[in-house]
Amino acid sequence: MKVVQLGVEFAPIAKVGGLGEVIQGLSRELTRQKVQVDVILPKYDFLDVRKLSKLKVEVPEFTCLGHTNAMWSATCEGCSLHLLESSTNYFRRGKIYGCEDDTARFLYFSRACLEYLKLKNEPIDILHLHDWHVAVCALLAKEIFSLPIKAILLTIHNGEHQGRSAPWDLEAIGLKKHDLLQDDDPAHPKALNLLKGGIVYADWVNTVSPTYAKELLTAAIGGPLSKTFRKYKDKLSGFLNGIDQTTWDPSNDPNLPKPYAASSPLPEILAAKEAARTALRKRFSLPLTHRPWVGSITRLVPQKGPELIEHGLRQTLALGGSFLLLGSSPLPKIQKHFDKLKQEFVGSPQALLHFEYDEELSHLLFAALDFLLVPSHFEPCGLTQLLAMRYGTLPIVRGTGGLKDTVFDEGAPHPQNGFVFRDLDPTALAATLQRAILLFQNEQEKCNALLIRDMRQDYSWTQLSKNYFNLFRNLTFT
Ligand code: ADP
């Protein structure tokens, strides 16, 4: 089977959040299972070429919309990558997102990918598109390019981001027929919606948890696009993301001072987690002696409940614990608020607020924490709760989307592996956080039993890629 993955992130060389990690983890696992997987990605100027091997020019020159391009090939994390270099300056911005012309950049990337596939003209079983940035490829492949592709799958990693654009944006990449992309939002009657285009034109659409697939059908979470999700619900499914167990392996993680595994004796696990805390205290010259350690590792955007993270921080401190936050915001208003919050806690022996994207530090933090707080307003799948559990850190989450499908509190049909609150308000969070902290302080044995149970769960791609396998098989069955 041959699968081509199109997306604009790939961990660790171009990662902003879960999207890059999922494309990498799924591709590596499928490759391991002898599927031929090719990942196409822009050749951003910031790519760390030291993390690439066998980098070479694959196609020295081809044109797209009058611009010259080259395709490079390389391997990274066990995956075969194809990196699009363009004479435009679209991928020389030092970042993936946040440019005024993001729509034009990704539309161009989409068209150039299909020009490249046309040039190669090799049979493809599944063209796998990820999120709105490349969703238009479904339309391009069906309306303009005639390619030997058996089926097109669109995976929605976050339905909030839809790529609203103007008719001339699509005309600029040669698409004159775009009437089916009319935005469902009455506030934008003239806009076109790229994610909607993907939903309409792809052969199948899936999202990254069963609960989120259901939630997208509701106006509360799907928004105006819920109308389209309901219309196409017969080709919509949802299954969970996995985690890459090679990158995220506490028994073999270069970022940890001491390795530990689910099979290690409990005292060894606890000692290794303490060693991670010692390393963090040293790195930040902070006492952080109060336990438990509660923390969040997240983009600070409204989706992630930054106001609830702040409540969590204040309450943890009041209950005698420490709070550690690793995350920053692309939104100046939120970042400013958290900068102020950091000032408030300067000199506190119980708080660490670190506003950077730091992959290595995140590994150390997952190991060092006792609890990870994920109070999202909505969450398509969420990876941090899965990573936390793998590192023996108990998740405290709001029961929405993939959080609801992976974290189970007392009384759930599954054995307890964390703490869940339902209502989106500080009181519900406070009650659950207090319950978790009291358990930690008064029932250490029960807490440790949960830690061991969490580490033994299997949310690996080895397990979860089976859902993709079955879907690919169904889609290509003729
Ligand atoms: P999303 O994709 O919506 O941001 P996910 O939970 O699916 O959320 O994935 C987030 C990923 O990004 C996780 O691997 C998490 O560890 C990582 N991450 C988020 N913020 C930071 C940060 N400041 N530093 C390092 N890693 C981060």
DSSP 253-312: -TTSSS---TTS-HHHHHHHHHHHHHHHHHHHT----SSSEEEEES--SGGG-HHHHHHH
* Cβ–Cβ under 8 Å, residues 430 and 315: yes
User: How many whole angstroms separate alpha carbon 280 and alpha carbon 276?
Assistant: 6
pLDDT at 381 over 80: yes
Q: Are strands 67-76 and 79-86 parallel, antiparallel or unpaired?
A: antiparallel
Q: Is 359 in the pocket of ligand 1 (CB under 6 A)?
A: yes
Pocket test for ligand 1, best of 10, 362, 387 (most atoms within 8 A of CB): 362
Strand, coil or helix: 476: helix
For residue 408, what pLDDT is reported? 98
- Gyration radius of the chain over CA positions: 23
For 142-165, give one letter per residue: b (16+ CB within 10 A) or e. bebeebebbbbbbbbbbbbbbbbb
* Residue 477 pLDDT level (bands cut at 50, 70, 90): confident
Q: Ligand 1: which residue has its CA nearest to atom 22?
A: 357
For residue 412, what pLDDT is reported? 87
- Mind listing the pLDDT tens digit for each residue in 210-262? 999 999 999 999 999 999 999 999 999 999 999 989 899 999 999 999 999 99
* Cβ–Cβ under 8 Å, residues 58 and 73: yes
pLDDT at 308 over 90: yes
Q: Is 17 in the pocket of ligand 1 (CB under 6 A)?
A: yes
| Ligand 1 atom at minimum distance from 355 CA | 23
| Ligand 1 atom at minimum distance from 303 CA | 3
Q: Give percent of the chain with pLDDT exceeding 90.
A: 96
pLDDT at 177 over 90: no
Nearest alpha carbon to residue 8 among 108, 80, 100: 108
- Mind listing the pLDDT tens digit for each residue in 103-143? 999 999 999 999 999 999 999 999 999 999 999 999 999 99
Q: Is 357 in the pocket of ligand 1 (CB under 6 A)?
A: yes
Once rounded to an integer, what is the mean pLDDT over residues 43-66? 96
| Ligand 1 atom at minimum distance from 385 CA | 6
Interacting residues of 304 by C-beta distance below 8 A, sequence separation 6+: 296, 298, 327, 374, 375, 376, 377
Q: Is 25 in the pocket of ligand 1 (CB under 6 A)?
A: no
For 310-349, give one letter per residue: b (16+ CB within 10 A) or e. bbbbbbbbebebbbbbbbbbeeeebeebbeebbeebeebe
103 Cα: distance to centroid of ligand 1 (angstroms) = 23
For residue 330, what pLDDT is reported? 92
Tokens 């000199």 correspond to what residue?
347
Q: Is 330 in the pocket of ligand 1 (CB under 6 A)?
A: no
DSSP string covering 151-179, please? Answer: EEEEEES-TT---EE-HHHHHHTT----G
pLDDT at 478 over 80: no
For residue 251, what pLDDT is reported? 98
Q: How far, CA to CA in Å, does 192 sit from each of 87, 106, 154, 440?
A: 27, 15, 18, 51
* Residue 148 pLDDT level (bands cut at 50, 70, 90): very high
Q: Is 384 in the pocket of ligand 1 (CB under 6 A)?
A: yes
DSSP string covering 309-342, please? Answer: HHHHHHHHHHTT-EEEEE---SSHHHHHHHHHHH
Q: How far, CA to CA in Å, does 467 sit from each of 141, 242, 444?
A: 25, 11, 37
Once rounded to an integer, what is the mean pLDDT over residues 378-397? 98
User: How many whole angstroms separate alpha carbon 333 and alpha carbon 310?
Assistant: 15
Once rounded to an integer, what is the mean pLDDT over residues 460-467? 95
Identify the weakest region by mean pLDDT among 2-16, 36-50, 175-189.
Answer: 175-189
* Cβ–Cβ under 8 Å, residues 259 and 252: yes
296 Cα: distance to centroid of ligand 1 (angstroms) = 10
